[in-house]
Structure 1
């Protein structure tokens, strides 16, 4: 979805803590456990979609879920969540989301996990229909990815996207 000459902004661990409530020490621990991307030896920086994943993991952890279950839940949520964050980042303060992106191009809004099986669904009625049809459910989670993305986009200190000068202009400068 990237527009020409635009790149995703990256945020520091302190900014991540401000947005998500996940302190810097826990961010380091989650990176060591493979729940957050490795830094490759440099200073940690996160995209807005990674902040959204972090916020979702914080919610999962507050419900008592361990790292393995969090990683499984995030596996199917990461791509639609990234699309929601990037789409909302384009529209923040400019135009309505529905005007910016055709409805048929929006990602799945809900992620549903029933007894360890994770599914992406488009609407809440479908999520509840799937819950009702499952006879082996021990637990179930339904995550509204758009709401998680909105929470992050509304709290971040800088826009999700920033404009990069064209390559020719960089060479002259």
Structure 2
């Protein structure tokens, strides 16, 4: 199977571990070295350090990647770490779908590839930040409507007790 072929919906990753496996497999097949930095529990590694760094020695590229389950959120520390790397001109982004890495890798060989890739990393990181941060409540206006919520005036319906 071509690493860039679309994946059937029932085979798409549903957990962070599945996203990690798909990304590592894709990057290794494309000639990148996979460096793992993930932490299962609190350790002495710098808080916010991304889960992966992919290195392509022949082309001289390095990409820091924070892996997330589909729709997952970053912590503030992860966002800050990626932001510092991006400000320094490094390629760094959160990923919840191998297609994001595929797009980034396809940008790199082009004439202005690094600049385009850096812009793409900034955009993806900003989109993830808009999801909010793990462990923090969203502001009132950003809350999602619950499936059973009334679509009326927004006031809570009260029932009388007999």
Q: Judge same fold: TM > 0.5, yes or no.
A: no
Q: TM-score, normalised by structure 2?
A: 0.27
Higher relative contact order (CA 8 A, sep 6+): 1
**Higher helix proportion (structure 1 or 2):** 1
